[in-house]
Amino acid sequence: MFQNEPYTDFSVPTNRQAMEAALAKVRSEFGREYDLRIAGERFKTPDKLKSVNPSNPSETVGIHQKATPAMASSAIESAHSFFSEWSRTSAGERIAMLRRAAQILRSRKMEFDAWLVYEAGKPWAEAEADVSEAIDFCEYYALEMERLSDPQPLTQLPGERDEMRYLPLGVGVVIPPWNFPLAILAGMTVAALVTGNTVVLKPSSETPTIAAKFAELLLEAGFPERSFSLLTGSGSAIGDLLVQHPRTRFIAFTGSRDVGLRINELAAKHQPGQIWIKRVIAEMGGKDAIVVDADSDLDKAVEGVAVSAFGYQGQKCSACSRAIVDEKIYDQFLEKLQARVAGIRVGPADDPANYMGPVISESAQRSISTYIEVGKGEGRLITKGLSDNRNGYFIPPTVIADVKPSAKIFQEEIFGPVLAVSKAKDFEQAISMANDSQYGLTGAVYSNNPEHIRQARERFFVGNLYLNRKCTGAMVGAHPFGGFNLSGTDSKAGGPDYLLLFLQAKSIAEKVG
């Protein structure tokens, strides 16, 4: 029976001290250089990729290599040449490796938490949730693989033995984002590996150290050197080649809409020598809404909106970026929200007193600030800026009220701590406004009206709908995760359908008697 990994309670003094020790240990490793690894070979390149601490960008977290196109090509060829061997290892062996990986990660949890604090700017609790989710993915997919490696029930024709078994696909290119630099990277990678595929992992350029640490852990858990390569480097420099390579069988991608669409388009084009149609598993952006009904518990709704909008600085694909509120309670909601947001503390992520840390990079800071300027013209800014000048990439929690559905900040993914609040004349209009989006990832409704809850179940078009709770924080096993429309290919990470995306079924009928 699957159970989610419990979160460490940092209000317990011993846990807090252990986390402080982990932060100090990780700090002592700042600036270390990591190799790029293709199958069993380690490489250094003249051109380096430097990751920094977004709370203080003068600090270098890790120095990494930048893969060249020739290296990318060689990684795919190596993965292809090992596939026939790896695909024939028993599922039981692969499952055992994955369970060992979960166990090692559990035993080094706070160290990984600390890497997330420093390289991704995650506040402690957010880092802990990310690492816990990575453990969950390992345990859950191990269990799932047990289920799928058993013979699948079929109708037995008279005089035949009929069976169906699942086979891996081949070489998978895994491309994760920086915002869940461990959980999403680990989830996609281990799903591909435990099902018997070989992997070329191209991590985000913002968080390569976390990727390098997880890659070391997988080797320690027993995954063979040749089962996966770690190709750090720029997505724009090697991404197309990885996707287009004729030996690439599938691409598991999580990231922005535009990159996902490009991958989908390039993967669809048949290449000389390619003997399959590539599969694309793409999880993309969101513009998630919380609808607040006239009859709802307003304090709970304000709390749910605030944590969904500003947890991890709004940098979650599931983050609430639109609150759509019934006009009968609109002014009251805004007043309470304004007070709640004014109490949010922003500062370096390693200080647990800060609820919000920095955004990931200077370019993210710039792009979010531009949206805030646009938003000031599209609505009414009701929050304050930061009171002092800081080194890091900080952006205050920002609420813009009276935003119309035609506004840019209502339609476009900002991926930062910016919330648009809009007024609806009734519940029906609120749901229509929520659905007025090219995305369809998460959404929530706060309502005490059973008929409105029923309507939301039926009409709110999102992959993950939450009722009377926040729209972030999907749990593996309980909330299979993935969205509709341009939020992706409708896959569901952490759910019972997910591993099937990395497998193909073979039907075998044998004449007997």
Q: Are the C-beta atoms of 435 and 461 separated by less than 8 Å?
A: yes
Residue matched to tokens 């069976």: 163
Q: Tokens standing for 462? A: 């999102």
Beta strands in 256-395 (DSSP E): 279-283, 288-292, 320-326, 380-381
To the nearest whole angstrom, how small is the minimum distance from the Cβ of residue 259 to ligand NAP? 3
Select 124 or 180, whichever has its Cβ closest to ligand NAP.
180
Distance CA 190, CA 507 (A): 25
Q: Tokens standing for 359? A: 């955004």
The neighbour count for residue 454, using CB atoms within 10 Å, is 10
Select 172 or 176, whichever has its Cβ closest to ligand NAP.
176
Q: Does 262 engage in binding with ligand NAP (CB under 6 A)?
A: yes
Select 177 or 480, whichever has its Cβ closest to ligand NAP.
177
Q: Does 234 engage in binding with ligand NAP (CB under 6 A)?
A: yes
Closest by Cα among 442, 38, 17, 311 to 201: 38
Distance CA 123, CA 48 (A): 28
Which of 72, 211, 263, 444 touches ligand NAP by CB under 6 A?
A: 263
Which of 179, 313, 398, 437 touches ligand NAP by CB under 6 A?
A: 179
Which of 35, 160, 225, 240 touches ligand NAP by CB under 6 A?
A: 240
By CB under 6 A, which span of 279-287, 332-340, 464-472, 501-509 interacts with ligand NAP?
Answer: 279-287
Helix (H) or strand (E) run with residue 485 in it = strand 484-485
Which of 311, 416, 483, 494 touches ligand NAP by CB under 6 A?
A: 483
Q: Does 476 engage in binding with ligand NAP (CB under 6 A)?
A: no
Q: Does 178 engage in binding with ligand NAP (CB under 6 A)?
A: yes
Closest by Cα among 245, 197, 258, 248 to 223: 197
Q: Does 392 engage in binding with ligand NAP (CB under 6 A)?
A: no
Distance CA 372, CA 452 (A): 33
Q: What are phi and psi of 491, to 5 degrees?
A: -80, 165
By CB under 6 A, which span of 82-90, 93-101, 201-209, 217-225 interacts with ligand NAP?
Answer: 201-209
Select 257 or 452, whichever has its Cβ closest to ligand NAP.
257
By CB under 6 A, which span of 122-130, 202-210, 298-306, 347-355 interacts with ligand NAP?
Answer: 202-210
Is residue 283 among the annotated active site residues? yes
Distance CA 321, CA 482 (A): 17
Is residue 119 among the annotated active site residues? no
Q: What are phi and psi of 55, to 5 degrees?
A: -75, -20
**Could you say which of 283, 320, 413, 471 is catalytic?**
283
Q: Does 487 engage in binding with ligand NAP (CB under 6 A)?
A: yes
Q: Tokens standing for 342? A: 């004014």
Q: Does 175 engage in binding with ligand NAP (CB under 6 A)?
A: yes
Q: Tokens standing for 177? A: 């984002």
The neighbour count for residue 289, using CB atoms within 10 Å, is 30
The residues that touch ligand NAP, with contacts defined as CB under 6 A, are 175-180, 184, 202, 204-206, 234-236, 239-240, 254-256, 259, 262-263, 283-286, 317, 413, 415, 441, 482-483, 487-488
**Positions marked catalytic:** 283, 317
